[in-house]
């Protein structure tokens, strides 16, 4: 087993002429939860888009389980066991709750997660399974988005802005469910604006600032000053 599941080296990312990431170095170890923090526009979402194949990358910049996935299409990356819970949920409005979950299983990977397992984790979704996905409340939609990613039985799951736009009580519930979600030998990357939350669930933290990694540290030993310096660039 390789000692990293995801290895990012010297990653640059562009939107047309605009460069959003500069030489990002990052790795995820099997079974760990990694937190990514950073201000708006620091490149967190771009990093997610690069990893999942929605943005084109240069050769050998992203390795997954030791294999180069930099130039694969997003669907090919998904088939290899990398799933994302996108920012703002992004459920399919024309699909029911159940169909949204089913489409997550489209990659055809076997594992512990199926419809029943997701319904056990979020029982409310079973009651709402035939409703249109976007008729649910924000928190319930986030449950569908998480369930949809789990249905792919991924090895690595990316959470982009997991608590953005949700009520604090819902955020608490979702964080409470997180150990059950990631408990099954999965690795996770969590992009989070709430730094305290991010540090409490993760083993390591990376901070991005203007497209560069400004901090890499163990989550339990990092100091407030280090974070503010890495976050805001203030000396």
Partner 1 sequence: MDWLNAIVQGTLLGGLYALFAAGLSLIFGVMRLVNIAHGDLIVLAAYLGLTVTSATGIHPLVALVLVVPTMGAIGYVLQRGLLNQTLGDDLLPPLLVTFGLSVILQNGLLEVYTADPQKMDAGALETASFALGDLTLGVLPVLTFLVALVVIWGLQWTFYHTSLGRAFRAVSDNQDIAQLMGLNRRHIFGLAMALALAVTAIAGILLGIRTSFDPSIGGGRLIFGFEAVIIGGLGNLWGTLAGGVILGVAQTVGAKIDPGWQILSGHIVFLVILAIRPNGLFPRIAA
Residues 115-154 as x/- pattern, contact with partner 1 by CB under 8 A: -----------------x-x-------------x---x--
Q: For residue 222, how many C-alpha atoms fall within 13 Å in the half-sphere facing its CB?
A: 26
- Please give the C-alpha separations between residue 46 and each of 6, 187, 203, 235, in angstroms, as whole numbers: 16, 20, 22, 26
- Please give the C-alpha separations between residue 48 and each of 24, 95, 121, in angstroms, as whole numbers: 12, 25, 25
Rounded to whole angstroms, how far apart are CA atoms 209 and 23?
12
State the nearest-atom distance from the C-beta of 160 to partner 1, in Å: 11
Per CB under 8 A, the segment of 3-11, 72-80, 174-182, 185-193 that binds partner 1 is: 72-80
State the nearest-atom distance from the C-beta of 104 to partner 1, in Å: 6
Residue 177 engages partner 1 in binding (rule: CB under 8 A)? no
Residue 52 engages partner 1 in binding (rule: CB under 8 A)? yes
Scan for tokens 């939609």, then name that residue. 141
Per CB under 8 A, the segment of 57-65, 100-108, 171-179, 223-231 that binds partner 1 is: 100-108
State the nearest-atom distance from the C-beta of 95 to partner 1, in Å: 6
Q: Which of 3, 16, 17, 108 binds partner 1 (CB under 8 A)?
A: 108
Rounded to whole angstroms, how far apart are CA atoms 153 and 128?
22
Residue 93 engages partner 1 in binding (rule: CB under 8 A)? yes
Q: Which of 95, 115, 121, 164 binds partner 1 (CB under 8 A)?
A: 95
Residue 102 engages partner 1 in binding (rule: CB under 8 A)? yes
Are the CB atoms for 211 and 43 separated by under 8 Å? yes
Are the CB atoms for 38 and 207 separated by under 8 Å? yes
For residue 127, what are the contacts with CB-CB under 8 A and spacing of at least 6?
Answer: none
DSSP E strands: which ranges in 94-192? 156-160, 187-191
Residue 197 engages partner 1 in binding (rule: CB under 8 A)? no
Q: Which of 56, 75, 180, 184 binds partner 1 (CB under 8 A)?
A: 75
Residues that bind partner 1 (CB under 8 A): 52-54, 73-76, 78-79, 83-84, 86, 90, 92-95, 99, 102-104, 106-108, 132, 134, 148, 152
């Amino acid at each position: 087993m390789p000692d990293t599941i995801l290895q990012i080296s010297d990653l640059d990312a562009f939107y047309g002429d605009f460069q959003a990431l500069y030489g990002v170095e990052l790795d995820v170890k099997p079974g760990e939860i990694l937190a990514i923090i950073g201000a708006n526009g620091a490149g967190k979402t771009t990093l997610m888009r690069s990893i999942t194949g929605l943005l084109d990358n240069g050769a050998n910049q992203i390795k997954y389980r030791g294999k180069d996935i930099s130039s694969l299409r997003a669907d090919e990356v998904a088939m290899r066991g990398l799933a994302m819970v996108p920012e703002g949920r992004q459920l399919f409005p024309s699909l029911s709750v159940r169909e949204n979950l089913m489409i997550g299983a489209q990659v055809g990977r076997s594992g512990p997660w199926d419809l029943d397992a997701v319904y056990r984790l979020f029982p409310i979704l079973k009651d709402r399974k035939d409703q249109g996905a976007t008729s649910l409340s924000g928190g319930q939609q986030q449950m569908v988005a998480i369930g949809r990613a789990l249905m792919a039985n991924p090895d690595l799951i990316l959470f982009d802005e997991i608590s953005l736009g949700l009520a604090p009580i819902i955020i608490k519930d979702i964080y409470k469910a997180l150990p059950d979600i990631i408990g099954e030998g999965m690795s996770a990357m969590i992009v989070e604006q709430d730094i305290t939350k991010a540090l409490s669930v993760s083993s390591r933290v990376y901070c991005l600032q203007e497209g560069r990694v400004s901090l890499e540290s163990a989550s339990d030993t990092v100091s407030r000053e280090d974070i503010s310096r890495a976050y805001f660039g203030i000396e």
